Structure 1
Amino acid sequence: MRTVVAISPAEVYEHLPAALDGSGPALLPGGPESLTGPLEPGEDSPDDPTAVVVATSGSTGEPKGVLLSKSALLSSAEATHKRLGGPGRWVLATTPRYIGGIQVLVRSLLADRPPVTIDLENGFRVPDFVAAVHEVLKTPGRHYTALVPTQLARIVGVPEGLEALENLDGAVMGGAQLSPELRAAAKGAQLVSAYGMSETASGCVYDGVPLEGVEVKLVDDRVAIAGPVLARGYRSRPDLTAASFVDGWFITSDLGRFVDGKLEILGRADDMINTGGVKVPAGAVERLLERHVDAACVVALDDPEWGQIVAAAVVGEADIELLRGHVRAELGAPAVPKVLTRIEEMPLRGPGKIDRAAVRRILNPIEHDAPGSS
């Protein structure tokens, strides 16, 4: 019987080959001990071993272990290379604790070209990225990286960083939606906006178009995904697996629509704010605010009068009342944040993923009846 062992993210590349062929244990990079131990019936297969278990808290904070098989990981890596133009050498700029970094390592193994790894112990620094790109460019062929928007924002703010990025054949952008303003700031860089999650072995829809073998549809306006990239389910949680993996489809928590045949993500289903009987999509308010600030997070706060109110935290210099005016003009009065405050930086729960529960805790103490809160 195979087992799940916890290892440090730095050890993943060394042990990944044995995990993929089943000769070694399944890997849990930096995850909680509660997810380790023998794999249960249905969680593994001799013909398609479970190679990696990714610990993800999602929006609830409850640890879940996503079971990813060899076939799911390799299918994603092969389809990514095909979409990008062929195998290449990668700059690993995100931690292999999460699926984005893990997939950079899987793609590197598949291409038989070791990645150039950035030391993230003291955070992401643009000079380190520039040095890694210079190193990877010494290898003939194609050259790639995977980033999150917060990293891209730092890179484009430094001329040397932008120049290094433009020398790559592709940069897969994950973690959060890429704003039009940030994409424009990247100028000549070959950016690919990826949508996906641990349950789909990383991004599986690039620039609105599914990777080869992946199917996408809407189920009650929620995005549903099928194909060889799907996880087996959740470790020791057959209830969650049955609820989310239905008849070969993974039902996400994201609302979407198709525009000119391409998938557009509108936000999370549970991020719809019902204020005074009017439904306000948090994602739409966020995207508008991010035209004027460095980052924004919009959440619902309980309120005795309105049921819920729109609340927002922003990073960057901006006039609070001016921001409210922009929202009122474009989205209407119900979408205007009744609580709107500036913070130094967004709390994160993963690469590029804002910790919305932490933002709620930050905003909750603010008096709702103080429209000028700042």
Structure 2
Amino acid sequence: MLLPRWQETHARFRDRPALFDGDDVVSFDDLARALEGIPVATAPVIASGSALDIALATLRGWRDHQPVLPLEKPGAIELDSASIPEGIAHLKLTPGSDGQPRTVRFTADQIAADADRLVAAMGLRPEVPNLATISLSHSYGYSSIILPMLLHGIPLQNVEVPFPAVVVEAWRKHARVVVPAVPSMWRAWQRSGILADAPIELAISAGAPLPLELEETVWNEHGLKLHNFYGASECGGISWDASEKPRTHAGDLGEPLPGVSVETDDESRFVIRSNAVALGYDRLRSGETLGDGEFLTPDCGHFENGRLTLDSRAGGHINVAGRKVGAGRIESILRETGGLTRVRVFGVPSHDPDRVDEVAALIPVGTQVSATRTAAATQLAGWEMPRHWIPAENEAWWSLSRQDLRQRFTG
């Protein structure tokens, strides 16, 4: 199903740009020709690296009937090919609170349904490229940028780093652009002044709560509306704020996307139903619901005037500027360095609201962390590394839950 969709895209947009990267322009036909020279895959395909690398790895998986797993850092998980059921076309990696990351499993129809829904709801079109400032290996970037390119012919403009000067140079190449980003990026761009007269047709913010103050400031200074977008790895897009004026409530998640049904259970948790809900996890934990078109989120909220309102967020991950960090996985990596006899990893609120959380590590008193940091850096991305190393001055701290540690060391 995915390969024929790509072949339709290729036939329709053959000579048109698929990917802009600096002064290089890669056409859809260039992608097809490059794919011909790639060996046949006999195991799940890891999609990582540059935008071009991820696009070609994706096409390789589709061509060779292998699941595609986008990863920001290769080696984050070892896949057992034999354990993946037939019919799985796509995998997403989610943080593991128990130290073991999990994969979410999708059929071809499910992963395509998410991209199709976003393209239709947001009015994305081939004449206006997506600016690729976010990670293309994460669910948000993959479904918003990579899949629309391969399934709908919507080109992407690569951005090496989301620094203001680099972003300006990228969007100057186009009359109009669509910009999916996270709040911390919008904050940095607003402070730098580059949003004045920016050629942005649609500004999207997801991955972390969008502060009302930031949304209002961007609107008042530049007349640019930031559209709050809410989704989850397990089901793709859930809702978005399509209105043309700033919201008045920070918890306003907008209206459910077409084809997405949202209800609340007895604990006010969102129950999502759509054709983009994943087939399931590789390991289901007690109390979880995922499969048969239904996903029970850890987030709680309610409906207000037909719009979804977030009351509280839950879950075992740490949100660092829109990137989900698994505390258990970081603990495992830190222990494997041999430099720590004990460690507990948890999140604490950042003083920068756009960053949301920062990673903290409880460690034994007297521990020297420099060698541990160096050893762990081979497996942890910079944003996963603890910013706070807290000596356990009280033995009772080790028995606290992550939530209790968060409360204990907040402020």
Provide the rounded CA distance (Å) in 1 between the counterparts of 2:147 and 2:232.
16
Q: Does 1:119 align with 2:151?
A: no
What residue in structure 2 maps to residue 85 of structure 1? Answer: 123
The answer to whether the 8 Å contact 1:9/1:95 transfers is no
Query: What amino acid does structure 1 have at the position aligned with 2:256?
Result: P
Residue of structure 2 equivalent to 1:347 = 358
Secondary structure of 2:229's partner?
Answer: strand
Cα–Cα, structure 1 residues 181 and 345, in superposed 2: closer, same or farther, change >3 Å? Answer: closer
Which amino acid letter does the alignment assign opposite residue 147 of structure 1? A
- State the secondary structure of the residue aligned to 1:175: coil
What aligned pairs does 1:174-213 form with structure 2 within 5 A after superposition?
174-187=206-219, 188-201=223-236, 203-207=237-241, 208-213=254-259
- For structure 2, the residue ranges without an aligned partner over 5 or more in a row are 1-40, 242-253, 320-346, 361-382, 398-404
2:89 to 50, 57, 74: 50
Q: Distance in 2 between matches of 1:359 and 1:197?
A: 26
The alpha-carbon deviation at position 155 of structure 1 amounts to: 0.8
Is 1:255 matched up with 2:300? yes
Distance 1:115 1:35 in 2: 30
Query: Is the contact made by 2:106 and 2:278 (CA closer than 8 Å) also made in structure 1?
Result: yes
Percent of residue pairs bearing the same amino acid type: 21
> How far off is 1:204 after superposition?
2.3
Instruction: Name the SS for the 2:311 alignment partner.
Output: strand
* Structure 2 CA distance for partners of 1:190 and 1:249, relative to 1, 3 Å: same
Residue 81 of structure 2 is matched in structure 1 by 38
Matched, 1:216 2:231: no
TM-score (norm 1): 0.65
Task: State the partner residue of 2:43.
Answer: 3
Deviations 1:274-314 (A, max 9, x none): xxxxxxxxx9xxxxxxxxxxxxxxxxxxxxxxxxxxx9644
Deviation of the 1:56 alpha carbon: 1.8
Which SS does the other structure have where 1:225 is aligned?
Answer: strand
- Residue 129 (structure 1) aligned with residue 167 (structure 2): yes
- Return closer, same or farther for 1:76/1:362 CA change in 2, 3 Å cut-off: farther
Measure the CA separation in 2 of the matches of 1:72 and 1:256.
25
Please say if residues 279 and 291 of structure 2, whose CA atoms lie closer than 8 Å, have aligned partners that are also in contact.
no
Q: Distance in 1 between matches of 2:154 and 2:348?
A: 44
Q: Does 1:27 align with 2:69?
A: yes
Shift of 1:27: 2.9
SS of the residue 1:135 aligns to: coil
2:103 corresponding residue in structure 1: 65
Local SS of the residue matching 1:186: helix
Which secondary structure does the structure 2 equivalent of 1:113 belong to?
coil
| Larger displacement relative to structure 2 (245-254 or 32-41) | 32-41
SS class of match (1:347): strand
* Matching of residues 99-178 of structure 1 within 5 Å: 99-103=139-143, 104-120=145-161, 124-137=162-175, 143-164=177-198, 167-178=199-210
User: Which sections of structure 1, spanning at least 5 residues, go unmatched?
Assistant: 272-282, 284-310, 317-341
Partners in 2 of 1:348 and 1:312 — Cα distance? 7
Of residues 248-257 and 26-35 in structure 1, the stretch that sits farther from structure 2 once superposed is: 26-35
**1:276-355 correspondence runs (5 A):** 313-315=349-351, 346-347=357-358
1:244 aligns with 2:255: no
Give the Å deviation of 1:20: 3.9
| Larger strand percent | 1
Give the drift of 1:180: 0.7
1:260 CA drift (Å): 1.0
String of CA shifts for 1:95-123, please: whole Å, max 9, x gaps. Answer: 12211121211112223133111113xxx
Return the alpha-carbon distance in structure 2 between the equivalents of residues 4 and 232 of structure 1: 17
TM-score (norm 2): 0.60
Letter in 2 for 1:40: S
**Structure 1 residues 4 and 102 mapped into 2: Cα distance closer, same or farther (>3 Å)?**
same
Letter in 1 for 2:268: D
| CA shift digits 1:196-242 (9 cap, x unpaired) | 111113x321122111111111112001111011112223x2x3498
Moved more, 215-224 or 55-64: 55-64
Give the partner amino acid of 2:115.
A
CA distance in 2, matches of 1:270, 1:190: 29
For 1:232, the equivalent position in structure 2 comes to 279
Partners of 2:277 and 2:291 within 8 A in 1: no
Aligned in 2, Cα 1:54/1:35: closer, same or farther, shift over 3 Å?
Answer: farther
1:96 maps to a residue whose letter is L
Seen in structure 2, the aligned counterparts of structure 1 residues 135 and 250 have a Cα distance that, compared at 3 Å, is same
2:229 partner letter: A
Deviation at 1:64, TM superposition (A): 1.2
**Shift in alpha-carbon separation, 1:246–1:98, aligned structure 2, 3 A:** closer
Instruction: Please list, as runs of the form range in 1=range in 2, the aligned pairs for 1:348-367 lying within 5 A after superposition.
Output: none
| Cα 1:50–1:246 shift into 2, 3 Å | closer
Amino acid at match of 2:202: G
Q: Tell me, in whole angstroms, the C-alpha distance in 1 between the residues paired with 2:165 and 2:148.
A: 24
Q: Check whether the contact 2:94–2:102 (CA below 8 A) recurs between aligned residues.
A: yes
Q: Tell me, in whole angstroms, the C-alpha distance in 2 between the residues paired with 1:40 and 1:150.
A: 38
Shift of the 108–162 alpha-carbon distance from structure 1 to 2, 3 Å rule, reads farther
User: How big is the shift at 1:176?
Assistant: 0.7
* Distance in structure 1 (CA, Å) of the matches to 2:110 and 2:392: 41
- The higher relative CO (CA closer than 8 Å, separation ≥ 6) is in 2
How far is 1:69 from its partner?
A: 3.0
Distance of 1:9 and 1:28 partners within structure 2: 9
Distance 1:358 1:20 in 2: 37
